[in-house]
Structure 1
Amino acid sequence: MMDLLMFAAAAAVAAPELPVAAPALPSTDLDVIGLILHASIPVKIVMLLLIFGSVSSWVIIFRKKKVLDRAANEADTFEERFWSGIDLAQLYKNASDRNREVFGMEAIFEAGFSEFARLRNKRGVDTRTQLEGAQRGMRAQASREVDVLDSNLEYLASVGSVSPYVGLFGTVWGIMISFQGLANMKEATIATVAPGITEALIATAMGLFAAIPAVWAYNRYATKVERVNTRYEAFAEEFSSILQRQAHLDD
């Protein structure tokens, strides 16, 4: 009997130790798609609105960048031709060619020069009236050009200011639903509360995701539009001075 006990003890010591399985850790991966799909109907509607606002904002951002870059490049190109010493009549002939699109600073020049020439061909119209007519034409055309550059910027401002509140509404609603569900439970733990609150907080995150790019783009593009408008106004003043000198020389 003693020999059997000693043999068993020796076998236990000699046997290799089996690895002990570590306790399974809870998954820390955030399943955003799953949270959205399991959200309540009002929260899903809020998320859809925020997704639409974000996508439409990015579309406007890319289109507006293209338009503003084109306006700045056109202004640089036209100013280079304007101050190169080219004859104004020839420049106006190129601008008034209906086979090509005219916009921006060139359109302002065309509007001012055409009004100046029209009034100058009339009898009994003095120099001051001619210049005032040219200035009115340039101001009107500049206003139209700036309106084109400024279009849809108010939409970016609206998305940037409203999206956080829309997301917050979805979060508050989701938290209300979560706490209402806890009323039917005898014992509430963090495991039962966390999924509902996480689901609700996704709406706030989506609101910020939609708002931040829209606000950034609005501020940046509004500044660019103001700079282009300043260039248009400066050109109109300089062109008015040129027309005034030419009118006095012709008289």
Structure 2
Amino acid sequence: MATLRIEGMRGGYATAEEIVKGIDLEVAAGDLAVIIGPNGAGKSTFLKLVAGLLKPKAGSVTLDGRPLPGGDAQAVCQAGISFVPQERNVFQSLTVRENLEMGGYLVRRGLRSRVDAQLERFPLLKDRLKDKAGNLSGGQRQVLAMAIALITEPSVLLLDEPTAGLSPAAADEVFDLIRDLTGQGLAILMVEQNALLGLEYGTRGVVLVAGRKLRDESAQGLLADDEVRHLFLGGAAAH
């Protein structure tokens, strides 16, 4: 059972810039940990530091006790962590099948069976294999992006705003798929701007403000908290 542990994470986009200011976090298999917070809180930057897309100024990432090199996205992916960015997460000029095959660029064996496994997991992609990814709906593109990330069979999935720009119905469908993945034993750490929806589906809620972690508890606990609802969810808690 995979456990992702982040300790003392600090960093940003430039040597002198520190957007993330010392975050500790642990995500275990079956967790859907949802990061919420205001714009500019460092949520997406934090995910990119964990994914190895940015080199941290300080801090460590371990997966099942194994330390991962900071700032080395390929090594992080090979260790079992996949990242789905908010934008540019599919190759729009390539077909669905070609996108899935691109997801296996680090895989040396069994690519066909891995692609087939994702088509079984996400049946809606089966009928669109020859379609260009750019012709898919927003929800379908997001499903494809997740399928691409899962080709390497990771134990941890990092998602940056997976429902951005989607209709409410499409957002619910994407979240249903995400929850199914945690039910299959995947550990998921996700940034979600729709805080209410994220916490309704999540098992854990993490509040970031100004690059620091203010809260980390059950999603239901945050949903019921008056202060959190007032600041981030647009209403008072129900009693």
Give the TM-score range, shorter chain. Answer: under 0.3
TM-score by length of 1: 0.18
TM-score by length of 2: 0.19
Choose 1 or 2 for highest CA Rg: 1
**Structure with the bigger percentage of helix:** 1
